[in-house]
A and B are shown apart, each in its own frame.
Chain A
């Protein structure tokens, strides 16, 4: 099992008498930031112990590394406006709160600093185009940043918590299962046959697969979280060896930062104890902002990442081969290839139709169709 990123699994959760903190200045934060706090506190973002300082931010932007040379590509930042909180200064301790997640956390402020949104957008997303959802988020950020360590004091029990394992829990789970090599698969959709092919191809060479759907804010037309989870449960129950597959969710906002985010996704899975990470075509991409294999190429910049990327190019069903293929293994013309179109599968399911079994397992389609409203409205 790999060491956590940076060498140590971070744990910054303390059960503390909340009455002790009532006099502290409070800053109400949005739900995405509260997810960041939970992820920091449970070690998903190890070695981060809090929100980035200015020097770490600069290094992440320009070197793709923290100041201590640890690979890190996505800045984890806490933004605020002066008017959000009574006067605060470096060295102060404040309380961060979020109603939706019930997050209450301490922040020890090391630094209050300004930043340049254009530089942030350009370096992380490779564009300043506000049509890019990540860039739009950057331009909506507040004026100032707070850097410092956090300590999570409390958070609410939430829907899907029964599927939510921390890195500490997955590490103990993998050890109990006797898995030395574990491949992680990230998803935001129910599985079609192409996904299953990728997962099982990778699984063939390791001890277990960690299926790790990202749960959270979705856009209209996306599959609802419960649909994704149920469909994977069905797939695992019917088509995987129970002792070889584990599914657990990850709550974090997609940034759509393409290659940089692929590295970030790999780092999180390393912290969960995975040795390998599947990277597909246009991983974490959106629109045409990134080349289809930019998220593969970036891994060559990180010989010290500590998790092995498993690259998959495009795959399809070849009617000549009679199986799922990729461009490395099939000699037949494109006219024999049927692509796994997520859009087409969604259309069929939206009309209550079951996609062909060449595209999606019947049991998976039926599971999805059992939901009155499988899609976000």
Chain B
């Protein structure tokens, strides 16, 4: 059996009612079918925008090995 298989997929978050009303108006006539789908979309966007760029963690030895292959294949001079 896989861990967390029956984990609850959704949770409830409270937001101020006036804000919820504004959002409901905002999403009228858009592709968003509910307040939840809009809030989910926005939060996903915000969270992914906060992700830092990749700091590669290849070891020096590893990196040298790769560069050697890339030079041998003509990808690097």
- By a beta-carbon cutoff of 8 Å, the part of chain A in contact with chain B is 1-4, 7, 53-55, 59, 67, 69, 90, 110-111, 147, 162, 165, 168-169, 171-173, 175-177, 246, 273, 300, 302-306
Contacts and interface: CB of A to CB of B under 8 A. Distances in A.
A80 to B, nearest CB: 18
Interface in B29-77: 31, 41-42, 44-45, 47-48, 51-54, 56, 58, 62-63, 66-67, 69-70, 73, 75-76
A262 to B, nearest CB: 18
A147 B2 CA distance: 9
A4 B44 CA distance: 17
A175 B56 CA distance: 10
Given A165-B75, A304-B45, A3 B53 contact: yes
B22 interface: no
Nearest to B64: A172
B12 to A, nearest CB: 16
Given A1-B54, A90-B1, A173 B70 contact: yes
Residue of B5, B44, B67, B75 contacting most chain A CB atoms (<10 Å): B75
Given A303-B44, A306-B51, 17 more contacts: A1-B56, A4-B54, A7-B51, A53-B2, A67-B4, A69-B44, A162-B73, A165-B75, A169-B69, A172-B66, A173-B70, A176-B70, A176-B76, A273-B54, A302-B44, A303-B42, A304-B44
Contacts of A7: 51
Contact of A246 (B41, B45, B51, B75): B75
A304 B43 CA distance: 9
Contact of A304 (B48, B67, B70): B48
The 4 closest A-B pairs by CB, nearest first: A304-B48, A303-B45, A304-B44, A3-B54
Contacts of A67: 4, 7
A208 to B, nearest CB: 12
Nearest to B42: A303
20 contacts: A3-B54, A53-B2, A55-B2, A55-B5, A59-B9, A111-B1, A162-B73, A168-B58, A168-B62, A169-B69, A169-B70, A172-B70, A173-B70, A173-B75, A302-B44, A303-B41, A303-B48, A304-B44, A304-B45, A305-B48
